Amino acid sequence: MGMDRPDIETRADCERLVRAFYGQALEDPLIGFIFTDVAKLDLEHHVPKITSFWETILLGNRTYTGGAFAPHAALHARVELRPGHFERWLQLWFGTVDSMFAGDRANLAKVHALRVGRAFLDRLQGLPTPGDPAPAPGTLAISRHGPRG
C-alpha cells in the first residue's frame, strides 16, 4: 500500500533523501544543466552541506551554518533562475520525499521547500541577470512627480 514508509528520523535519512533527490535532479532535462554545467556541482562536497541544512530544519540538530541564499544568487547571475526551474525543483523534491517517507517531518520537508523556494524566487526577482542590459546612468530618475504641465 505504500503506507509503510517511515518518517524522517535521522541524519542518515536526510542524506538518503538528498542523494535520491540529486540523483534525479542532475539527470533532469529541465534543471539538470543548472547543477552540472552552470554550478558544476561537486556532489560529494555538496551532499553533507545540504544534508545538514535539512537536518537542521527537520530534526533540530543545528549542523547547518551560513546562508543558503548567497550561492543561489551567484548562480542566478550566471543563468537566470526562472519560476519554472523552481517549480521543477519542487516537483522533484516532493516526489522524492513522497516515494521514501511519510509523516510529520516528511510533510515539513515539503512545506519548508515550498517556503524556501518562494522566498528565493522573490529575492532573485530583484537581482540583475545575464540577460538584463545594464541600466544607463541616470535612468532611474525618469519618473516625474507633481502636476503635469
pLDDT tens across the length of the chain (149 residues): 446 899 999 999 999 999 999 999 999 999 999 999 999 999 999 999 999 999 999 999 999 988 889 989 999 999 999 999 999 999 999 999 999 999 999 999 999 999 999 999 999 988 877 776 665 555 454 444 555 55
Domain boundaries, the chain: 11-130
pLDDT of residue 131: 72
> CA angle 109-113-116, nearest 5°?
140
Q: How far is the C-alpha of 89 from the C-alpha of 97, rounded, in Å? A: 12
Residues present in the chain in total: 149
Matching CATH number, 11-130, of 3.10.180.10, 3.40.50.11540, 1.10.10.10, 1.10.490.10: 1.10.490.10
The amino acid sitting at 51 is T
**Predicted TM-score (pTM) of this structure:** 0.82
Please report how many Cα atoms fall inside a 13 Å half-sphere around the Cα of residue 9, on the Cβ side.
3
